[in-house]
Amino acid sequence: DAGVIQSPRHEVTEMGQEVTLRCKPISGHNSLFWYRQTMMRGLELLIYFNNNVPIDDSGMPEDRFSAKMPNASFSTLKIQPSEPRDSAVYFCASRNKANQPQHFGDGTRLSIL
Amino acid sequence: AQSVSQHNHHVILSEAASLELGCNYSYGGTVNLFWYVQYPGQHLQLLLKYFSGDPLVKGIKGFEAEFIKSKFSFNLRKPSVQWSDTAEYFCAVNAHASGGSYIPTFGRGTSLIVHP
């Protein structure tokens, strides 16, 4: 059974560029989460979807960040324009029921120069 | 809003030492509790979970955790750590919110280093 799949694994780009992170949740899971992990701030929940609908986006840092889930098997997190302070590891996670644990992807290590 | 506190940010132990990592949460309603482990360079993986019943929960790799409702705590323990337990440990709470959703909240994490 494939786990949560994220791409790319690593992304290095210059500030001002648009960055798109992708996530494929586990088939049958109806909730999807985007997290950002840094040394300074730890693991932060950015946004989560339930049945493809955004439920809570209060963790999205600012308008430069946007997330979509056009269908049950795909989600994107976009940063436009990117800034050096956006450098972090971004994790996607999914779960199949509301009270169950989450399954995490391998993350995207993003470096903005 | 709920919150999760992990009091030990960094723990350094020698192999065979006993481990206890503290976790306290603030939420008065129904909760489900989890401990996750993140090995260096990897993603978070579930160690154990508590939903209901026996408050002493056994997980993988010899870990266990005890839910003490009166103290709002869910401490992680292992009687004898190994070098391979070196990792970041996260306590997490799914708090039951209105509408049937469960909002996940993670602690800041505890970095464990085990010396061989």
Q: Angle at CA A79, nearest 5°, toward A74 and A82?
A: 150
Q: Which residues of B touch A (CB under 8 A)?
A: 32, 34, 36, 42-46, 49, 51, 90, 92, 94, 96, 100-109
pLDDT class of B100 with cuts at 50, 70, 90: low
What pLDDT sits at residue B103? 77
B2 has a pLDDT exceeding 90: no
Q: Does A25 touch chain B (CB under 8 A)?
A: no
B98 has a pLDDT exceeding 90: no
Asked if A73 and A24 count as a contact pair (C-beta separation under 8 A), the reply is: yes
What pLDDT sits at residue B99? 64
Residue A2: CA atoms inside 13 Å, Cβ hemisphere, count?
10
Of B28 and A24, the one with more pLDDT: A24
What pLDDT sits at residue A99? 80
pLDDT (tens digit, 9 = 90+) per residue, B34-92? Answer: 999 999 989 999 999 999 899 999 999 999 999 999 999 999 999 999 999 999 999 99
CA–CA distance, B16 with B41 (Å, rounded to integer): 24
Of A42, A102, A104, the CB nearest to B109: A42
Closest CA to B4 of B65, B116, B92: B92
CA–CA distance, A8 with B13 (Å, rounded to integer): 36
What pLDDT sits at residue B22? 96
B21: closest CA of chain A, how far (Å)? 17
pLDDT (tens digit, 9 = 90+) per residue, A36-91? Answer: 999 888 899 999 999 999 988 888 988 999 999 999 999 999 999 999 999 999 99
- Mark which residues 44-103 of A lie under 8 Å from B by CB: 45, 48, 50, 55-56, 91, 93, 98-103
Asked if A50 and A42 count as a contact pair (C-beta separation under 8 A), the reply is: no
Closest CA to A95 of A40, A46, A28, A34: A28
What is the β-pairing status of strands A42-50 and A103-104?
unpaired
Tell if the CB–CB gap between B43 and A105 is shorter than 8 Å: yes
What is the β-pairing status of strands B87-96 and B19-21?
unpaired
